[in-house]
Structure 1
Amino acid sequence: MAIDDASHRIIADLLASRTGQQLTENRRWRVSTALSGLFREIGIENVDQLACMLERPGEYRLATRVVEALLNNETYFFRDHVYFNTLANTVLPELAEKRASSRKLTIWSAGCSTGQEVLSLAMLFAEQAGRWQDWTIEIVGTDISGKAIEQAQSGVYSQFEIQRGISVAQMLNFFSEAQGGWKVCDKIKAMTRFERQNILDFPPKPGRFDLVLCRNVLLYFAPETRRSAFDKLASGLASDGLLMLGAGETVVGQTDRFEPSGHGSALYCPKIGQATARKSIESILRPAAATG
């Protein structure tokens, strides 16, 4: 194996071990570009030199910086408008009926990057203030990138980031000028919470969500890792909740924890599989067996 291939294997193994993501051949081209800024900072020129440094003991911090640089944090406000239209006009009204007694909704954005998806959801609720009056809305965003979560928690976005997906009216209603760009207003921020977390870990609190968004994240996982991710997403979703995936993602042939919901190609609902049914039967039979 040539040193170039060996170097890329070291980088790929690091990314997989830290995040579960695969650095497949069709993503290999972007490695040097993604790491170019880091190369300049530490005074090296290529992946081979970086791989040698990573092989030295005690380079955990450098390894973390490499992983952060390789993560795809591409996002913007109201990304894929048709999805947000479906949420605003179909999904959220349906959930409102289901949760009318508690008047509480919890939403999890898994792989939220720098927070634009979470804030877009919060703006949907703010723009329908009459419908959601006296409701408790909690939107939790998680991402494995510490750098991305730091920005999400700050709520500050550059002029370029603001202009990607937000109208002038939304900018003026929900953001104010701040040092370094535009800062999200308090009424939007109050609905949100951001945490650094791997999607392969346990779901964040409250642990059972009415709606989970995991868009354009699972594309980068190997099949076995993807199945594990689906298991975690299922464990974090209410039995009558909904999962939204990205346009290029599906549960079909990937997991037995979900099935199409009937709300469009991107939305799925929990599926009661044979294992769950078997546990239910066992729980019914157990008392009778105990008395025998």
Structure 2
Amino acid sequence: MPIAPVSPGDYDFLCRLLRERLGQDLGPEKEYLAESRLGALCHDKNLPGLGELFNQVRQAPFSPLVEDVLESMAIQETSFFRGQNTFHTLKTVLLPEMLAHSNRGLNIWSACCSTGQEPYSLALLIREHFPLAHKVRILATDFSPQALKRGQAARYSRMETVRGLPMELRQRYFTEFQDGNFLLHDVIREMVEFKKLNLLDSFAGLGGPFDLVLLRNVLIYMPLEVARDALDRVRRAIKDTGCLILGDSETILGKSDQFQINERGLNYFRPKLSKPESSAVEKP
């Protein structure tokens, strides 16, 4: 039975919920997205419709059902080596520079990592092109327990491995199972540490400061004031010699004055050196 359309009042409530809990701006005229994703959730929970779903959410705003709603509405688009230009820049410019000037290893943070393809792509890149690199830590965070669980399992469908992953890397670092899924080898899995984090929360317990932070395809879904706050706190988590990478269609213009504009027109940004090194780690 088709799901009834979401009411204007329920849609407004959903938009406020996403903004308050995830810092995500759903925006106008996305009712179809709510109906599609939450309609499937209603079916899974044996709820008669969206009206009853939102009634229960209002009555228990911190219940597991609310977490299910947030999981359903979160943007989880990802793939291996997504954004080829970014990984080319990492391979040819950023990682060689960082490794040449660091004798303490590298501390890397992949924020909003979804199901793990981005941090594992980083690990594969380092393993393939910088095999002598030592003490490389890759932290992968996401607010979604389900996404993190999948990332930690490192088991992907054929379609997920076809998207962006070169065939030779799949053959070298994955084991194929009879069900058509592929399991990433431990030598790569062990390079990545997964941790639950909502970007609205403090970054103090992440083990920074970081040499490199990837915050890709996240700011475009944030209201301006939320994006500004996130970038301010990301700056405090990055070393003065570090680097921030955004998505191909994203910019810091109008969102932060704490990073240098990249004159090459690429999507990586180095911090402005206007603060003391002692403040590089955010206080709780």
- Correspondence for 1:258: 259
Q: Is the 8 A contact 1:77 1:166 kept in 2?
A: yes
Q: Indicate whether 1:37 and 2:36 are aligned.
A: no
Q: Is the 8 A contact 1:252 1:259 kept in 2?
A: no
**CA gap 1:10/1:58 in 2 versus in 1, 3 angstroms:** closer
Q: CA deviation at 1:239?
A: 0.6
**CA gap 1:26/1:122 in 2 versus in 1, 3 angstroms:** farther
After TM superposition, the structure 1 stretch with the greater mean CA deviation from structure 2, 108-117 or 35-44, is: 35-44
Q: Is the 8 A contact 2:175 2:184 kept in 1?
A: yes
- Correspondence for 1:205: 206
1:19 partner amino acid = L
Structure 2 Cα separation of the partners of residues 48 and 19 of structure 1: 22
Q: CA deviation at 1:261?
A: 3.7
After TM superposition, the structure 1 stretch with the greater mean CA deviation from structure 2, 57-66 or 135-144, is: 57-66
Q: CA deviation at 1:4?
A: 1.2
Structure 1 Cα separation of the partners of residues 210 and 109 of structure 2: 6
- Correspondence for 1:62: 65
- Correspondence for 1:288: none
- Residues 161-205 of structure 1 show CA distances to partners (whole Å, capped at 9, x for unaligned) of 111111221111111124761111111112111111012223353
- Correspondence for 1:121: 122
1:73 partner amino acid = Q
Q: Is the 8 A contact 1:200 1:232 kept in 2?
A: no
- Correspondence for 1:139: 138
Structure with the higher fraction of residues in helix conformation: 1
Q: Indicate whether 1:14 and 2:17 are aligned.
A: yes
The alignment covers a number of residue pairs equal to: 271
Structure 2 Cα separation of the partners of residues 206 and 266 of structure 1: 25
Q: Indicate whether 1:110 and 2:98 are aligned.
A: no
Structure 1 Cα separation of the partners of residues 49 and 251 of structure 2: 36
- Correspondence for 1:162: 161
Q: Is the 8 A contact 1:105 1:136 kept in 2?
A: yes
Q: CA deviation at 1:59?
A: 6.2
- Residues 28-81 of structure 1 show CA distances to partners (whole Å, capped at 9, x for unaligned) of 331111112211112235433321221224761111100000001010000011
- Correspondence for 2:170: 171
TM-score (norm 2): 0.89
Q: CA deviation at 1:138?
A: 0.9
- Correspondence for 1:234: 235
Structure 2 Cα separation of the partners of residues 237 and 45 of structure 1: 48
Q: Rg: which structure is higher?
A: 1
Q: CA deviation at 1:85?
A: 0.7
- Correspondence for 1:98: 101
The answer for unaligned runs of 5 or more in structure 2 is: 1-5, 280-284
2:185 partner amino acid = C
**CA gap 1:140/1:179 in 2 versus in 1, 3 angstroms:** farther
Q: Is the 8 A contact 1:14 1:63 kept in 2?
A: no
**CA gap 1:77/1:58 in 2 versus in 1, 3 angstroms:** closer
Runs of 4+ with deviation above 6 angstroms: none
- Correspondence for 1:249: 250
Q: CA deviation at 1:7?
A: 0.6
Structure 2 Cα separation of the partners of residues 260 and 245 of structure 1: 12
Structure 2 Cα separation of the partners of residues 263 and 236 of structure 1: 24
Q: CA deviation at 1:251?
A: 0.8
SS in 2 for 1:162: helix
The answer for unaligned runs of 5 or more in structure 1 is: 281-292
- Correspondence for 2:89: 86
- Correspondence for 1:217: 218
Q: Is the 8 A contact 2:39 2:50 kept in 1?
A: no
Q: Is the 8 A contact 1:8 1:47 kept in 2?
A: no
- Residues 114-173 of structure 1 show CA distances to partners (whole Å, capped at 9, x for unaligned) of 000000000101111xx4415111111101111111101111111111111112211111
**CA gap 1:118/1:59 in 2 versus in 1, 3 angstroms:** closer
Structure 1 Cα separation of the partners of residues 191 and 218 of structure 2: 23
